[in-house]
């Protein structure tokens, strides 16, 4: 697993707001252009030779793949520019890609994020069991405070939970961009387990860094690791 925005691709030159339409309900043509650009970015890094090396040790690999933007995505930063935050799961044995992306943007980025409206893309049938992949803020759907959501957010929130209950995932993979506070995702993970007792394991990956928060206010890395996983995991820490 990697963090959100692990790879970044250039925004397609011909993809305008007009072509996108409503970014919360984007046109299929616009999404196809984004997935094509993101796929090309991944292929520049993960070639067949590397896949053969990786699949000696792992069956799957997930990557956070964002369009390039001027600010790193965090829950409190305003990002009004058009951008995409995608996630791809690679089946290294079959060399098959499964694409999804953020469906539940923060309030500060909802005017700029091209949202993945198809919630079914978050659920993948793998030999290890049904797996749910989440973009950064998608996990906040399971925060108890999300019950106060209104409008289209309430609809997405309720639909996502219904879909998850129907799909019954065993494993959840979460791709935040940054995590330096243990409580950022704690309540969401706890409520998710109560809502979906079918879940046996989960894990979150993220950068242990936030430029606009004093380091003295960060929780320790050990606490972050303990509160963002359940089940048999191995932590890979890149310094």
* Residues 202-220 pLDDT 10s: 999 999 999 889 999 999 9
By residue range, what is the domain housing residue 78? 7-230
Instruction: Give the range with max mean pLDDT: 66-70, 75-79, 104-108, 195-199.
Output: 195-199
- The pLDDT, as a whole number, for residue 12 is 95
| Residue 239 belongs to some domain of the structure | no
What is the total count of domains within the chain?
Answer: 1
CATH number at residue 172: 3.60.110
Residue 128 lies in a domain: yes
Domain annotation covers residue 92 = yes
Say yes or no to pLDDT of 193 above 90. Answer: yes
Instruction: Note whether residue 2 is domain-resident.
Output: no
Establish if 179 belongs to a structural domain. Answer: yes
Asked whether residue 144 is domain-assigned, the answer is: yes
**CA-angle at 157, arms to 155 and 161, nearest 5°:** 115
The pLDDT value given to residue 79: 63
**Is the pLDDT assigned to residue 71 strictly greater than 90?**
no
236 is a domain residue: no
SS3 84: coil
Could you tell me if 160 and 154 are in contact, meaning their C-beta atoms sit under 8 angstroms apart?
A: no
Instruction: Give the closest residue to 179 by CA, choosing from 225, 231, 133.
Output: 225
Q: How confident is the model at residue 56 (pLDDT cuts 50, 70, 90)?
A: very high
Does residue 235 belong to any structural domain of this protein? Answer: no
């Amino acid at each position: 697993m990697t963090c959100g925005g692990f790879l970044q691709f250039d925004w397609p030159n011909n993809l305008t707001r007009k072509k996108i339409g409503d970014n919360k309900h984007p046109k299929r043509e616009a999404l196809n252009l984004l997935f094509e650009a993101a796929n090309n970015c991944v292929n520049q890094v993960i070639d067949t030779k590397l896949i053969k090396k990786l699949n000696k040790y792992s069956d799957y690999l997930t990557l956070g793949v964002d369009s390039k933007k001027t600010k790193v995505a965090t829950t409190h930063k305003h990002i009004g520019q058009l951008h995409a935050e995608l996630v791809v799961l690679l089946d290294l044995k079959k060399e098959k890609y499964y694409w999804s992306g953020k469906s539940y943007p923060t309030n500060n980025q909802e005017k700029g994020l091209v949202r993945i409206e198809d919630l079914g893309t978050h659920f993948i049938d793998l030999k290890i069991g049904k797996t749910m992949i989440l973009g950064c803020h998608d996990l906040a759907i399971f925060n108890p405070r999300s019950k106060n959501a209104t409008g289209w957010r309430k609809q997405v929130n309720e639909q996502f939970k219904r879909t998850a209950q129907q799909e019954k995932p065993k494993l959840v993979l979460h791709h935040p961009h940054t995590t330096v506070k243990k409580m950022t995702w704690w309540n969401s993970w706890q409520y998710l387990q109560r809502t979906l007792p079918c879940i046996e394991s989960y894990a979150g990956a993220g950068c242990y860094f936030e430029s606009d928060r004093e380091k003295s206010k960060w929780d320790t890395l050990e606490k972050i690791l303990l509160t963002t996983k359940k089940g048999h995991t191995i932590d890979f820490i890149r310094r």
